[in-house]
Amino acid sequence: MKDETNKITFKGTAEGLVIIIPEQMDTDLVIKQIGNKVKAAEKFFRGAKLKVLYRGKELTEQEEEKLKDVMVKNSGVIIESINYELYEPPIVEEKHTQASGIPFRHIFFKGLDEGPCKFVRGTIRSGTRVLYEGNVVIIGDANPGSEIVASGNVIVMGALRGMVHAGADGNRQAIVVALKLSPTQLRIGDIITRCPDIPEEIQSRPEMATVKDGVIYVEPL
């Protein structure tokens, strides 16, 4: 039986490449194995321009640079960007529906005060995407250049300075809450806005964004 705990997986996307790295895999082995995989497919990669996302084990910025260098050296690929994506697969597949045609996950998840929840501890750095079908709670800051997408609510126990999309499946009842709410872009359901530029030092209270009459309102808690 093959050991799947040390297996790197490549997935092609419209924009580039997704690399899935086992959480417990040694970093040196990660870089070596990815280097070997792109070298074996050198004819395919040479000269291609790719945006690379990786999931699973998170690398430091220095390790990302080392990985990028190995991929370029071994295959001649042109890497436009390499970013970490914190990804959770859907809780229930969309194809499972009731007689009315409404996906089952919409029956169990209302987007306000129930449903699955993903906790993320630590700062969400620039270039990192957090995707989850349910509520997302960030225990830390979300830096500029980060992105949080959830089908439910988004709660940030720190400063929210990146992009955020709550109710991503169209749920306007979802909310966004942060101790300091300063996103570069804020979406709830299909409504999009940008928060006014208010210095964080004068934001003395946590704030909550909700949709009322088709407009996003931001109010102190």
pLDDT above 50: residue 90: no
Q: What is the pLDDT of residue 158?
A: 93
Domain boundary among 29, 53, 86: 86
Higher pLDDT residue, 117 or 4?
117
47 and 133 fall within a common domain? no
Model pLDDT, residue 107: 38
The pLDDT, as a whole number, for residue 93 is: 39
The residue among 86, 116, 143 that closes a domain is 86
Range of the domain at 211: 89-220
**159/54 same-domain check:** no
Same domain, 39 and 9: yes
Identify whether residues 69 and 138 lie together within a single domain: no
Task: Write the pLDDT tens digit of every residue in 171-186.
Answer: 889 999 999 999 999 9
The tokens describing 39, both together, are 């070298």
- Both tokens of residue 52? 């690379």
Q: Region 112-117: what's the mean pLDDT? A: 65
Helices (H), 76-188: 104-108
* Token output for 183: 């996103």
CATH number, domain of 39, equals 3.50.80
Structurally, how many domains does the chain consist of? 2
If asked whether residues 70 and 143 sit together in one domain, one would say no
Q: Which one, of 120, 43, 42, lies nearest residue 84 by Cα?
A: 120
Q: Give yes or no: residues 116 and 189 share one domain.
A: yes
Decide which of 86, 120, 148 is a domain's last residue.
86
| 206 and 117, same domain (yes or no) | yes
- Which tens digits make up the pLDDT trace of 133-144? 888 999 999 999
Residue 99, pLDDT > 50, answer no
- Say how far apart CA 79 and CA 45 lie, in whole Å: 10
Q: Which of 180, 170, 88, 182 is nearest to 129 (CA)?
A: 88
CATH number of the domain that residue 210 is part of: 2.160.20.70
pLDDT band at 34 (very low <50, low <70, confident <90, very high): very high
Percent of the chain with pLDDT over 90: 40
Query: Which string of DSSP letters, residue by residue, matches 170-219?
Result: T-TT--EEEEEE--SEEEETTEEE------GGG--S-EEEEEETTEEEEE
22 and 40 belong to one structural domain: yes
**Token duo for residue 31:** 């870089």
Could you tell me the pTM of the whole model?
Answer: 0.58
Residue 1 has pLDDT above 90, yes or no: no
